[in-house]
Amino acid sequence: MFTGIVETMGRVVGLKKDTNAYFQIESIIGRELKVDQSVSHNGVCLTVVKVMGKIHHAVAISETLLKSNMGSLRIGDRLNLERCMLSNGRFDGHIVQGHVDQTGIVKSIRDQQGSWLIDITYDPAGGNVTVEKGSIAVNGVSLTCFNSLPGAFTVAIIPFTYEQTTFNDLKEGDTVNLEFDIIGKYVKAIMNYKL
């Protein structure tokens, strides 16, 4: 389990693709990682399969590539990294499982002279919803959404988050990973349950 508080950014330094994608990612936490450890990569929980110095290897299978933006990453791209939450740590974000529900599209990025407003759209046919002032993970970052509409929402990015994550790499039209709030997903499932 993760909290959506990005620990650092990594850079893709090696990549091979067939039906799966095999990533080599360099980061400042690389030397601390262990094989079989779960790490959130842009909000996608992937298992570390090999560690060589500050580079770790992870594999995204075809199902992951279909549901996330991992398949569009190239050598040189940066991505947000977060190790799983320690059981004795503070819970600073919200419950993030690393299970991307679907992708969204960045419709606009507005510079507010000290913060940024990012409008994101997604296909509402997937049944996912946001609520005003609810939680959402965008590329693995825990954020509060507002202007919640069917298939759209806005997030506000503070300067620290903008500088310490890949949000400063985003452009209009980019695809982002979305993980909707687990509590909202359970409530929706219960409401739809028929006895």
Average pLDDT, the chain: 94
Residues 71 and 147 in one domain: no
Residues 13 and 58 in one domain: yes
Residue 89 lies in a domain: no
What is residue 194's predicted lDDT score, i.e. its pLDDT? 67
Residue 183 has pLDDT above 90, yes or no: no
What's the number of domains the chain is made of?
A: 2
Residue 90 lies in a domain: no
Confidence of residue 190 (pLDDT cuts 50, 70, 90): confident
What is residue 90's predicted lDDT score, i.e. its pLDDT? 74
Can you tell me which residue has the tokens 């580079």? Answer: 55
> How wide is the angle at C-alpha 109 spanned by C-alphas 119 and 39, nearest 5°?
75
Confidence of residue 88 (pLDDT cuts 50, 70, 90): confident
- Over residues 49-78, the pLDDT tens digits come to 999 999 999 999 999 999 999 999 999 999
Q: Which one is predicted more confidently, 161 or 188?
A: 161
> How wide is the angle at C-alpha 46 spanned by C-alphas 75 and 40, nearest 5°?
85
Residues 131 and 164 in one domain: yes
For 113, the domain range is 102-192
**HEC sequence for 172-193:** CCCEEEEEECHHHHHHHHHHHC
- The CATH code of the domain that includes 138 is 2.40.30.20
What percent of the chain is predicted at pLDDT more than 70? 99
What is residue 31's predicted lDDT score, i.e. its pLDDT? 96
